[in-house]
Structures are given as structure tokens and as C-alpha cells.
Amino acid sequence: MAVEALIEKLKEQVGVERPPRVYEVEKGMIWRFAQALGDSNPLWQDGKYAAKSSYGDIVAPPTFALVLGFEQVVQALAAEPSVTVLHGSTDLETYLTIKPGDTITVTARIANARERPGKMGNMLFVTFDMSYHNQKQEAVARCRQMAIIY
Amino acid sequence: MKQQIYYEDVAVGGEIMPLIKLPTTRQLVMYAGASGDYNPIHYDKDYALERGLSGVVVHGQLAGCFLGQMLTDWMGDEGSLRKLSLSYKGMNFPGDTLTCRGIVTKKDIKDGQYLVTASIWIEKESGEKTLTGTAVIALPTCGR
């Protein structure tokens, strides 16, 4: 399958909600994320320090939401080794702080897919809308991701 | 405790404390594992070259998280990042010196929240801005 087939497939999926992904957030996940960033902020990893903060315990950095459910987007796009996927933009809105013990459900759908001729052949600009809810069904965050495929 | 910044401390035009990041291939592998983003352009040099890139590329969102780190370092434990908009303009590579920067562009009080808007970006040593964006941060107020 070349890029054209993937483009057709993604265009057909516009508006369709994907099966939700559920993440049980624990301290190890947050620690691993902070380590990967090289972010030594004690609020993400030092329980003693975080206990004295207004949160009372470790919390996740606000950008942590970006990695929840993102693999789903990558899988939908990069299924083919002959297809190049580049990230165009990210728009994240956060409403609640994610904490260890939270169960976050992420739902994603393709909001739109626009084809444009580019220097490497036809390019597809595809926009995903992601929503994040916790175990109390409260909205935690919302994110719009745009990717470029060619 | 880290020092807390308050809404009243911030002026439009003021600079956010810059943050310098030095990504390595090892960091890209760590981020791939932490994020589940296994796009091979981030770890497979042969594949990246074949796709016309000059080598493995820093994940756009990892660079975005660097800007997030600059903001959370600056806003302190009582600050809250409400919005983060990122536009990926250019590629970052392991070995680059990436400077995260930000300038406060707006202050307003909305629905009882003390909000600061900042223009944020990453620049390379050459001055090229590879990532630009906007952030909205809620800060605590001295008067509360």
C-alpha cells in the first residue's frame, strides 16, 4: 500500500470515533515521562516535597496528557514504512491536573483530512481531536493534533 | 520550596526564564518508550535518511514538552498551564542546542482566574525558530 491508499483510508475515517483507550496512571509512568524529558521538577517525582504542596502528592506535568492516546494516532498514520509522518501542530487545553491513581479514558476521532499537492507528491493534512476524561467522567483535557503525511 | 511567582509580579513584555535543552539519541529512545511514539524517524537513522531527512529527528512533542518544562519551572507549584498551542516549524536533531524562550504578551482576569498569555518558541544556535506557540497560564494572586 502506498501513501495514496492510506490517504483514502484516513479520509473515509473522518468523524468516526475510535475505540477509547484507558490508562491507569501511576507514579512510575509519571517518573518515566519526567526522566525522558530531563525534567527534575520535584513536584513530578519527590513524594516528600509534593506532600507539602497544595496538591498533597506527586502530580503529572501538564504535558503528560500529550502522550496518553498518542500511540493510537501514530499507529493509525504510520502503519506503512513507505509513508512519512510529520507532526504539524498541537493544541492542548487542560482543565484538571492528572494524578497517580487516576484512570484516564482517551477518545480520538479524525476531525478532518485535507489533501494538497506538495513537492514530495500528494500530502495529507489530517487533524485528530482527542478528549480525556477521568474516572469521575470529568473532562481533564482536550487536544487537537495535526499531522502531515506523504 | 521553589519561589512562587504571582500575577502581580508579571509584566507584559517580560521574559520567561529561558531553558536550554541538549537532546541526545538516548533521550529520543527514552521518550519513545514513555510516549509510545515509535515512528522510526526518531530512532532508525537508515530509515530517516531513506525518507530524505538528515538523520533521526527529535519528536515534535518532546520539543513541545521542553517548552512545557520552561513554563512549569517559571510558573511554580501554584501556577497552572491552561493552554499550550504548538506549531512545528522545523526539525530538531540530537546534538542541537535548543533554547526555550517566552515573552508575556497579555494579562487578563477572566472568570476569577488570573491569566497570563505568553508567546513561546524554541530556537537553535543559528537563530532558527523550530517550534513556535502560545501558552496560557493561570497564576496565583497576591491579593488572595
Q: What is the DSSP string of A98-129?
A: --TT-EEEEEEEEEEEEEEEETTEEEEEEEEE
Task: List the beta bridge partners of residue B99.
Answer: B20, B123
Interface with chain A: mutation pick from B29, B37, B42, highest number of A CBs within 10 Å: B37
A124: containing domain: 3-24+64-149
Q: Do A69 and A51 reside in the same domain of the chain? A: no
Per-position b or e across A107-127, b if 16+ CB within 10 A of its CB: bbebeebebeeeeeeebbbbb
Distance from CA of A92 to the nearest CA of B (A): 5
Q: Do A144 and A102 reside in the same domain of the chain? A: yes
pLDDT at A119: 75
CB atoms within 10 A of CB A87: 24
d(CA A57, CA A53): 7
Looking from the CA of A130 toward its CB, the CA atoms found within 13 Å total 26
Q: Do A135 and A95 reside in the same domain of the chain? A: yes
Q: Do A130 and A95 reside in the same domain of the chain? A: yes
The mean pLDDT value of chain A amounts to 91
* Cβ distance of A66 and B64 shorter than 8 Å: yes
Q: Do A76 and A138 reside in the same domain of the chain? A: yes
Q: Which CATH superfamily is domain B7-138 in?
A: Hotdog Thioesterase (3.10.129.10)
- What are the tens digits of pLDDT across the range A24-74? 999 999 999 999 999 999 999 999 999 999 999 999 999 999 999 988 887
ipTM > 0.90 (yes/no): yes
Q: Do A15 and A70 reside in the same domain of the chain? A: yes
Q: Do A89 and A142 reside in the same domain of the chain? A: yes
* Cβ distance of B60 and A62 shorter than 8 Å: no
pLDDT at B144 over 60: no
Q: Do A107 and A143 reside in the same domain of the chain? A: yes
User: Total domain count for chain A?
Assistant: 2
Q: Do A106 and A38 reside in the same domain of the chain? A: no
User: B37 contacts in A (CB within 8 Å)?
Assistant: 67, 70-71, 74
* Cβ distance of A61 and B69 shorter than 8 Å: yes
Region B45-74 average pLDDT: 95
- What are the tens digits of pLDDT across the range A71-90? 888 777 866 777 878 889 99
